[in-house]
Chain A
Amino acid sequence: MESSDPDPTDDSSMDAFLDKFQSQPYRGGFREDQWEEEFDKIPLFMKKAPSEIDPKEFPDLACLQSIIFDDERSPEEQAKTYKDEGNDYFKEKDYKKAVVSYSEGLKKKCADPDLNAILYTNRAAAQYYLGNFRSALNDVLAAKKLKPDHLKAIIRGALCHLELKHFAEAVNWCDEGLQIDAKEKKLLEMRAKADKLKRMEERDLRKAKLKEKKEQNQNEALLQAIKARNIRLVSESVGEDEDSASNGLAEMLLHGLSSENPCGARLSIDGQGRLSWPVLFLYPEYAQSDFISAFHEDTRFIDHLMAMFSEAPSWDSEHKYHPDDLEAGWLLASTSRMRTGQNYTRCPLRAPCCRCCSTPGAP
């Protein structure tokens, strides 16, 4: 060359540079048939990062990542990088990846308790938005252990308890947070909400307890009424035909009334202290039955039969079931299961039901 400092206006140097390509081939360029795929693998231009980075497939990205997560950097620096990565995922609402990043940051076990508290709190937030409230709560507890006055952790913890319907705990956490910042609006609103829900829950518990107590008293009254009428209850247990103990009676009554009666009808007592029974009419000749859900003890069999057989049932092929011709066998404790060899006793159709039940010495 004529001079060491090339003159920009000198066209000859440019010509010389371009002449090189006439003789030397260009190397490292995109292949014409796959240039789009190759373009996508360059970190600068790729549209989305791969879920796994294969160094052979993505050498450039792998290099960048190893720079970022160089093990020669301190655990604090690495943890902070993971925290920032997690925060980026969080902003994109990719909470699962955020959890992974925060977890990697925690694995570094760096010596900075504040940073670890933030990692736990942020992971708790990600878990919360994934609906994993218990995992979120565990993270919050870990964060609080590291930094007791970390307000964000306490707010998150209160939110978790609220979602888990631990309303009393939610109120307590709000109070704890308000010790740190007495005017934190989120805590004030959340506390009012949790307190209201807590009181409603307490009301519901009281209501259920009262209802249970009322039913218990009702059953007790039923048992007393049955005993007062000298009615014998046949036990379900084989060989136990005598009166059971009071507790046994209550238990058997409850069991019998609730389980053997698919219609849901049950023994009841009216305002004057009179009983109505669920009663089964069996027609062994045709293996048929009728169920009366509320047979008042003062009513007569004949009145029920006249209503039941005012029209001939379909199974009465010989049309011989008329109220006047019927004979009723009475089985004590109609809710008990049928057993072979059970004795029947004749019952007058035109007498009130209660007189049959209380006949002394009836088998």
Chain B
Amino acid sequence: MRGPGVGSGLSGERGLSGKEAGADTEVAELLPFLVPGARADLQAAAAQHVLALTGVGSGRTLLAGQTALLRALIDLAVAPIPAPSRDASRALVNLAADPDLHWQMLAADPELPVRLLRCVLDPQWPWAEELAAVLANLSREPAPCAVLTEKLVAAEPERLGLERLVSALCMPSYNASAPLHYLGPLLSNLSQQAEVRAFLLDPDRCVVQRLLPLTQYTDSSVRRGGVVGTLRNCCFEHRHHKWLLGPQVDILPFLLLPLAGPEEFSEEEMEELPVDLQYLSPDKQREPDADIRKMLIEAIMLLTATAPGRKQVRDQGAYLILRELYAWESEPDVRMACEKLIQVLIGDEPEVGMENLLEVQVPEDVERQLQELDQQEQQELAQERRDKGAPRT
């Protein structure tokens, strides 16, 4: 599954698209001004030109073809002050937003992920947020993600590893000048790798527990969404469900709390809920981002894949929260996901031998039917969106 990425919103001025003939030559002429050792003001001007070029698709493609120039740009981005790293970093964000260019960036500098990581995890690096966004974009695709994971695991002795990354993510004040929100989507992408999930779910450590409060992080939906995506990916590991739902981690309240609103419950219902969801304030707000709400529901749905998991989710009053959410929800796809989850909770238990819904061997014809049903649902959703007159990008 593709993780969340960062768009081209950081581009500079547009309109510098040159004619195709001679464009390569013009771009190549920027190289001497970008290299380390060039005059600072010329470096800055060249970096601004490059940033402007990365604002359009053709400009990005053009730049990616210039290996030496890419290398110089990367060197500039990770160069310390007073080098004009900011524009170079932003240019890299735009380049990395295009998955087709990842292999060229990595070919220009195979050490790119480690060099970026070293800067991102430096608590004094002023452009760490931009470089974190580059890494988040790079890690959207499986191949660069695997490379980055390998580097992270290998980098553990330098303390540039996953532990440091999680610590920086859990500590918004880690870098005084850069909040590092994009570490959230970065970790979410990385958690598609089995090794990363194994680290996050290590019962001998305290990793996933430290991520949980960030589901309520109000200052950034990027950070929040990244953490929720990470947690959802962890929930695919059904062998860890007992631990995740047990007292050592207690994941469910942190998935339900963002879905809870200001509705009142009776005392009997209140006692059924986890303490985190009891006596919520009348001005309690639900998670405003529909995509995050959907991911939360998907994570809970994964936890209901096993019979013991279903019982634990049911016993902790999840139905009460989802019932109120369903009444409130206006986004069709979130509403449908919520309805499915409610059906799982209040429906009958599956037949013997099919208790673990993540391990059931589905016959081919049944799978085909399910796919057709899914397509029908998607069409209905699309129709509903068209009827609302609010198409989503």
- State whether the Cβ of B107 lies closer than 8 Å to any Cβ in chain A: no
Please, what's the 1-or-0 string for A157-188, where 1 marks a CB less than 8 Å from any CB in chain B? 00000000000000000110011001100011
Q: Report B268 CB to chain A, min CB distance, Å.
A: 15
Residue of B nearest to A177 (CB): B206
- How far does the alpha carbon of A119 sit from the alpha carbon of B276 in the complex, in Å? 41
Residue of B nearest to A205 (CB): B279
A206 engages B281 (CB within 8 Å): yes
B209 engages A195 (CB within 8 Å): yes
Q: Which residues, 266 to 325 on B, are CB-close (under 8 Å) to A?
A: 275-276, 278-282
B210 engages A199 (CB within 8 Å): no
- State whether the Cβ of B392 lies closer than 8 Å to any Cβ in chain A: no
Asked if A199 meets B276 with Cβ closer than 8 Å, knowing A183-B204, A206-B281, the reply is yes
- State whether the Cβ of A209 lies closer than 8 Å to any Cβ in chain B: yes
- State whether the Cβ of B163 lies closer than 8 Å to any Cβ in chain A: yes
- State whether the Cβ of B248 lies closer than 8 Å to any Cβ in chain A: yes
Asked if A182 meets B205 with Cβ closer than 8 Å, knowing A192-B248, A206-B281, A210-B281, the reply is yes
Interface size class of A (residues with CB under 8 A): 20 to 34
Chain A contacts of B281 at CB under 8 A?
206, 209-210
B206 engages A182 (CB within 8 Å): yes
Chain A contacts of B247 at CB under 8 A?
192, 196
CB contact between B209 and one of A182, A192, A209 (< 8 Å): that residue: A192
Please, what's the 1-or-0 string for B187-220, where 1 marks a CB less than 8 Å from any CB in chain A? 0000000000000000011100110000000000
- How far does the alpha carbon of A207 sit from the alpha carbon of B267 in the complex, in Å? 12
- State whether the Cβ of B371 lies closer than 8 Å to any Cβ in chain A: no
- How far does the alpha carbon of A200 sit from the alpha carbon of B275 in the complex, in Å? 6
Chain A contacts of B253 at CB under 8 A?
199
- State whether the Cβ of B167 lies closer than 8 Å to any Cβ in chain A: yes
CB contact between A183 and one of B170, B205, B248, B278 (< 8 Å): that residue: B205
- State whether the Cβ of A123 lies closer than 8 Å to any Cβ in chain B: no
Chain B contacts of A203 at CB under 8 A?
275-276, 278-279
Q: Report A210 CB to chain B, min CB distance, Å.
A: 5
A191 engages B279 (CB within 8 Å): no
Asked if A207 meets B205 with Cβ closer than 8 Å, knowing A192-B247, A192-B248, A196-B247, the reply is no
Q: Report B170 CB to chain A, min CB distance, Å.
A: 8
Residue of B nearest to A183 (CB): B204
- How far does the alpha carbon of A191 sit from the alpha carbon of B275 in the complex, in Å? 17
Residue of B nearest to A178 (CB): B206
A182 engages B163 (CB within 8 Å): yes
Asked if A210 meets B279 with Cβ closer than 8 Å, knowing A179-B167, A182-B163, the reply is yes
- How far does the alpha carbon of A187 sit from the alpha carbon of B210 in the complex, in Å? 13
B206 engages A207 (CB within 8 Å): no
The listed residue with most A CB atoms (<10 A of its CB), out of B206, B276, B281, is B206
Q: Report B280 CB to chain A, min CB distance, Å.
A: 7
Q: By DSSP majority rule, is chain A's interface helix, strand, loop, or mixed?
A: helix
Chain A contacts of B282 at CB under 8 A?
213
Chain A contacts of B170 at CB under 8 A?
175
Chain B contacts of A182 at CB under 8 A?
163, 205-206
Q: Which residues, 227 to 273 on B, are CB-close (under 8 Å) to A?
A: 247-248, 250, 253
Residue of A nearest to B163 (CB): A182
Chain A contacts of B210 at CB under 8 A?
175
Please, what's the 1-or-0 string for A327-354, where 1 marks a CB less than 8 Å from any CB in chain B? 0000000000000000000000000000
B278 engages A207 (CB within 8 Å): yes
CB contact between B280 and one of A175, A178, A206 (< 8 Å): that residue: A206
- How far does the alpha carbon of A203 sit from the alpha carbon of B209 in the complex, in Å? 19
Q: Report A306 CB to chain B, min CB distance, Å.
A: 39
Chain A contacts of B276 at CB under 8 A?
199, 202-203
Chain B contacts of A210 at CB under 8 A?
279, 281
Residue of A nearest to B278 (CB): A203
Residue of B nearest to A179 (CB): B167
Please, what's the 1-or-0 string for A33-50, where 1 marks a CB less than 8 Å from any CB in chain B? 000000000000000000
Q: Which residues, 205 to 247 on A, are CB-close (under 8 Å) to B?
A: 206-207, 209-210, 213
Chain A contacts of B278 at CB under 8 A?
203, 206-207
Residue of B nearest to A184 (CB): B206
Q: Which residues, 94 to 139 on A, are CB-close (under 8 Å) to B?
A: none
Q: Report A173 CB to chain B, min CB distance, Å.
A: 13
Chain B contacts of A196 at CB under 8 A?
247, 250
Q: Report A174 CB to chain B, min CB distance, Å.
A: 8
Q: Which residues, 110 to 159 on B, are CB-close (under 8 Å) to A?
A: none
Residue of A nearest to B171 (CB): A175
Q: Report B247 CB to chain A, min CB distance, Å.
A: 7
Residue of A nearest to B212 (CB): A195
- How far does the alpha carbon of A203 sit from the alpha carbon of B275 in the complex, in Å? 6
Chain B contacts of A206 at CB under 8 A?
278-281
Chain A contacts of B248 at CB under 8 A?
192
A191 engages B206 (CB within 8 Å): yes
Residue of A nearest to B204 (CB): A183
Q: Report A77 CB to chain B, min CB distance, Å.
A: 37
Please, what's the 1-or-0 string for A86-100, where 1 marks a CB less than 8 Å from any CB in chain B? 000000000000000
- How far does the alpha carbon of A182 sit from the alpha carbon of B161 in the complex, in Å? 13
Residue of A nearest to B248 (CB): A192
A191 engages B280 (CB within 8 Å): no
Residue of B nearest to A188 (CB): B206
A191 engages B209 (CB within 8 Å): yes
Residue of B nearest to A187 (CB): B206
Q: A182-B206, A203-B279 are in contact. List 17 more A-B contacts (CB 8 A).
A: A174-B206, A175-B170, A175-B210, A179-B167, A183-B205, A187-B206, A188-B204, A191-B209, A192-B209, A203-B276, A203-B278, A206-B279, A206-B280, A206-B281, A207-B278, A207-B279, A209-B281
Q: Which 8 A-B pairs have the closest CB atoms?
A: A206-B279, A203-B275, A207-B279, A183-B204, A203-B278, A182-B205, A210-B279, A200-B275
Chain A positions near chain B (C-beta within 8 angstroms): 174-175, 178-179, 182-183, 187-188, 191-192, 195-196, 199-200, 202-203, 206-207, 209-210, 213
| CB<8 Å pairs between A and B, sample of 29 | A175-B206, A175-B210, A178-B205, A182-B205, A183-B204, A183-B205, A188-B204, A191-B206, A191-B209, A192-B209, A192-B247, A195-B209, A196-B247, A199-B253, A199-B275, A199-B276, A200-B275, A202-B275, A203-B275, A203-B278, A203-B279, A206-B280, A206-B281, A207-B278, A207-B279, A209-B279, A210-B279, A210-B281, A213-B282
